[in-house]
Amino acid sequence: MKKFSILLLCLLLPGSVTPPIILESALSKTVSIFAPSRPLRHIPNIAVSSDVELASEDGITSLIIPSVPVIERALIISYDGMRPDAIAAAPMNNLLGLINGGAYTMTNAVTIAYPSTLPSHAAMLSGLCMKQNGIIYDKYYKYMGYSKGVDIFDLAHGSGMRTVMIVGKDKLRQLAEPETTDVFEVRYDEASIAQAAVGQISQGFGLMFVHFPSPDQVGHKYGWMGISYLKMLRNGDDALGNILAELDRMGLRETTLVIVTADHGGHDKNHIGLVIEDFQIPWIAAGTGIVPGEINASIQTMDTAATVAYALGWPLQPDWVGIPVYEAFGESRLNVHPEDINWPCHQWN
Ligand SMILES: [Zn+2]
């Protein structure tokens, strides 16, 4: 019988609540990850990051599995063009309920320096700036290929999970390769999108991305924060309620990490990056292990990918700009974003 080394690290980290179970991994060499308090899933041919090393003995790596309920899947919901201050103004009561029981910030999260739909969503799901993932235009140019780098759809699919993308704009096809999205569906209104999402929940999923397009469309036509814009957000909130109800009905709510955010905000009838309201986005996380309360740390939209990876035990990628929002799990940040730039992912970043 092999002897395993239990790390001093697990005593130091708040994530290990009860005596950990040590598992024998199929990995053949020492694994390095940012945060050893969570189990690391082995995904073939995917590199891992190297901030903290787990000790191993006889070539066997010890992984620590928390004995508390764990996150088993992730659902990311993006409201296109939703300003943080619109949530209470609408009001979006289902989302306010999620905020009340979740970790959130309405003031500290921003999208990239080019606050537009396709590049912002690519950063959100890839953990990379647009220069790295190659999605530099707010239009689907097929010749430019899909988002480059290892994104969370690569990681989810690589770990054998069912992956789903239900979006309200065709151009979001460029966010992930068809090979890594088991389901990709375009619907054009909130109720229909929620209906499709509910159908997918009942079939089971590991990673689902849901995109509600209408706040942006109404904002461009009638103005951000106007009556029509807020009404559309209430429609989107009803759609959220239907999705959450299905998670409840299926008994999946507790073990699903739900992140609600946006690709950008907006002002007047646009979001071209003139004012902070164009860049600011809401960021809300709920699910087991999430510590309710306001997050004080600065969040960039690339952190969404990193947070999902962290919660699900996928390897954080060495080239990711995104950092897990450790505060949402009641943990300290092991790394921070540089403070010497106004907005993340300027072309020189
Ligand atoms: Zn947008």
Of the candidates 63, 74, 83, the one whose C-alpha atom is nearest the C-alpha of residue 23 is 63
Same-domain status, 241 and 302: yes
Rounded CA-CA distance 95/316 in Å is: 28
Same-domain status, 210 and 265: yes
In 227-272, alpha helices (H): 227-249
CATH number at residue 91: 3.40.720.10
Same-domain status, 170 and 86: yes
Same-domain status, 124 and 30: no
- Structural contact between residues 49 and 315, judged by C-beta atoms closer than 8 angstroms: yes
Residue ending a domain, among 17, 45, 64, is 64
- pLDDT of 48: 54
For 262-275, b/e burial (b = at least 16 CB within 10 A) is: bbbbbbbeebebee
SS3 label, residue 180: helix
CA of 81 to the centre of ligand 1 (A): 5
Same-domain status, 28 and 47: yes
Question: With a cut of 70, which residues of the chain have pLDDT below it?
Answer: 1-69, 340-342, 347-349
> Exposed (0-12), middle (13-18) or buried (19+): which is 342, by Cβ within 10 Å?
exposed
Same-domain status, 11 and 116: no
- pLDDT of 274: 86
Place of tokens 């919901």: 77
CA of 27 to the centre of ligand 1 (A): 41
Contacts of 98 (CB under 8 A, 6+ apart): 240, 244, 258, 260, 284, 286
Same-domain status, 81 and 188: yes
CA of 298 to the centre of ligand 1 (A): 21
Residue ending a domain, among 46, 64, 82, is 64
CA of 118 to the centre of ligand 1 (A): 7
Same-domain status, 26 and 89: no
CA of 49 to the centre of ligand 1 (A): 31
- pLDDT of 333: 80
- pLDDT of 41: 66
CA of 51 to the centre of ligand 1 (A): 34
Q: How many domains does the chain have?
A: 2
Rounded CA-CA distance 51/46 in Å is: 16
pTM equals 0.83
Rounded CA-CA distance 162/299 in Å is: 28
Rounded CA-CA distance 158/6 in Å is: 28
Rounded CA-CA distance 316/175 in Å is: 19
CA of 282 to the centre of ligand 1 (A): 14
Same-domain status, 53 and 94: no
Same-domain status, 86 and 60: no
Could you give the angle at which helices 117-126 and 303-312 cross, rounded to 10 degrees? 30
Same-domain status, 25 and 139: no
CA of 299 to the centre of ligand 1 (A): 18
CA of 189 to the centre of ligand 1 (A): 15
Parent domain of 24: 4-64
- pLDDT of 66: 47
CA of 262 to the centre of ligand 1 (A): 8
End-to-end C-alpha distance for the chain, whole angstroms: 50
- Cα torsion for 266, 270, 274, 279, to the nearest 10°? 30
CA of 178 to the centre of ligand 1 (A): 22
CA of 154 to the centre of ligand 1 (A): 23
Same-domain status, 102 and 197: yes
CA of 98 to the centre of ligand 1 (A): 22
- pLDDT of 213: 98
CA of 266 to the centre of ligand 1 (A): 9
DSSP secondary structure code for residue 108 in this structure: S
CA of 177 to the centre of ligand 1 (A): 20
Place of tokens 């979740």: 102
